A and B are shown apart, each in its own frame.
Chain A
């Protein structure tokens, strides 16, 4: 069975500082990996995804993530955080079943940004 671990429940960073959110996954084959962001009371917005190829993927809002197969990790990074990045971030691993993709989500990391 696939699973995702986000070890940090809550992270606080200062505006302008760098950010790294950790994600570890368990999956028996090459995974599809995703990062989503959620503002309070809203739906999830896709930040980036990895299917294959280059292990460093770029996303929206200046985010990037690196797939490391040897460490079963897919950490999200941003070089300089803005106050508007405060939100909850979810890592997910997916697999195809027919025409559907079944996602397993981590429990999320809440990011607080101090000014």
Chain B
């Protein structure tokens, strides 16, 4: 089946540790995105990438880093510099032809 997968579904991290969230898509989409969701705040854009080896900061990029070495993959690293990393993280992708973003199932990150 085509789609977007995110792993793990739940992730626990100690303060001061970096952690990497996985996002893979087999839809042959060009662009990929990372959002953060907090209760009552909707979704906020962290980073996005239009093509391999290129990415741009979104509205809340501080404390996060990404890479795009393959078209299918767009991992997000939450660094120790992120002051409040506990949240639900959503990955999305879209193709040029549809201009519509499709979302993965999300990863819930909890900092202990």
Residues on A lying within 8 angstroms of B by beta carbon are 9, 32, 34, 36, 41-46, 49, 51, 90, 94, 96, 98-103, 105-108
Within the complex, the shortest CB–CB distance from B63 to chain A, in Å, comes to 20
Q: Main secondary structure on chain B at its contact with chain A?
A: strand
Q: Which residues of B contact A36 (CB under 8 A)?
A: 103
Q: Given that A90-B42, A99-B31 are known contacts, is A41 also in contact with B96, CB under 8 Å in the complex?
A: no
The count of chain B contact residues (Cβ–Cβ below 8 Å) is 29
Residues on B lying within 8 angstroms of A by beta carbon are 4, 6, 30-31, 33, 40-45, 48-51, 88, 90, 92, 94, 96, 99-106, 108
Q: Is the CB of B99 within 8 A of A108?
A: no
Q: Is the CB of B103 within 8 A of A100?
A: no
A108→B42 CA distance, assembly (Å): 6
